[in-house]
Chains A and B, each alone.
Chain A
Amino acid sequence: MGEDSARKQREFEREALAHLDTLYNVALRLTGSAPDAEDLVQDTVTKAYGAWDKYERGTNCRAWLVTILRNTFINQYRRKSKRPTPVEFETVQDVSVFEALQDRDPSGTFFRFIVDDEVKRAIQELPEEFRIPVVLSDVEGLSYAEIAEALELPVGTVKSRLFRGRRRLQQRLYEYALEMGYIG
């Protein structure tokens, strides 16, 4: 192996492969299936490695990788996916469940009773336009600016999708907690 390619490999591992968990999480939430997510991550990494010379050093590598992943998903995966896109319910109110809860459980202790699988399912059920900003922000900890860069959206759009996505997620978890009797 030449010195240059060894350096490229080391740099790629350090800068890009450090974000594998983030890529996997986003892939999982985009495809909704573990095997598809693995394929999507592998395709993304291969593309990113091939384009590594074009990656502008010092810019946000994580956002760059998520953009590649998302574009790969749109071009290759969504087309073959047979799952229907989630139905958009116009009646969903983007209000905080705090309103409904403030007398019974104002500090949100019911969240503690909800298992991980249920949270992940609730995230998965969000419309994609809300789901991915929520995952990037609230699960992966990206800033609004990073999300805007990754999804090629204006910051204002990210902000409003995040707002609405969070409210819907809350609503869903609240309904689940009511069903399960976690809230008296």
Chain B
Amino acid sequence: MAFWKTLRRKGGGALPGDIDCEAVTARLYEYIDGELDDPQTVEKIRRHLDLCKLCFPHYDFEKAFLRYISEHGRTSAPPELKRRIFKAILEEESRD
């Protein structure tokens, strides 16, 4: 069972931000990525995260994960490859 199902509030009590944990979890990445089109949804999630003891740490965790990937997943092109490519473009042109 997906974990957020175990966290879903029962009984229709007041939901922080008028959005439930499941809906927040499903849109968490889009929220972090700044890819949600609807400003109202963004605002609802923001308010939910401010108040929800379950979702805020999850949000924090996902952000830590994404920051970690962006800082450690990259390999730069070898300088020798760059030199070779710039040289090839130069030679291509002088042939014209």
Q: Which residues of A contact B (CB under 8 A)?
A: 1-2, 5-6, 8-9, 12-13, 17, 20-21, 23-25, 28, 34, 38, 41-42, 45-46, 49, 95-96, 98-99, 101-102, 106-109, 111-112, 114, 116, 119-120, 123, 134-135, 137-141, 143-144, 159, 162-163, 166, 169-170
Q: Is B35 an interface residue (CB 8 A)?
A: yes
A41 and B85 in contact (CB under 8 A), knowing A138-B70, A139-B69? yes
Q: Determine chain B's interface SS by DSSP, over half rule.
A: helix
Do residues B69 and A138 form an inter-chain contact, with CB atoms below 8 A? yes
Chain B positions within 8 Å of A45 at CB level: 85, 88-89
Stretch at the interface among B14-22, B44-52, B60-68: B60-68
- List, sorted by A's number, 17 A–B pairs whose CB atoms are closer than 8 Å: A2-B96, A9-B89, A13-B86, A21-B74, A24-B75, A24-B76, A28-B75, A38-B81, A46-B88, A96-B25, A96-B58, A96-B61, A98-B3, A107-B57, A111-B65, A119-B72, A166-B66
Partner of A17, one of B58, B68, B78, B85: B85
4 nearest CB pairs, A to B: A99-B3, A24-B77, A108-B64, A111-B68
What is the distance, in angstroms, from A62's C-beta to the closest C-beta of chain B?
A: 14
What is the distance, in angstroms, from B18's C-beta to the closest C-beta of chain A?
A: 23
| Chain B interface residue count, Cβ-Cβ cutoff 8 angstroms | 37
Q: Determine chain A's interface SS by DSSP, over half rule.
A: helix
Do residues B93 and A5 form an inter-chain contact, with CB atoms below 8 A? yes
Do residues A119 and B73 form an inter-chain contact, with CB atoms below 8 A? yes
From residue 1 to 40 of chain B, which have CB atoms closer than 8 A to chain A? 2-3, 25, 29-30, 33, 35
Beyond A96-B62, A162-B29, 9 additional pairs, beta carbon < 8 A: A25-B75, A95-B2, A96-B58, A98-B3, A101-B61, A111-B68, A112-B68, A138-B73, A139-B70
Cα A9 to Cα B29 in complex, Å, equals 40
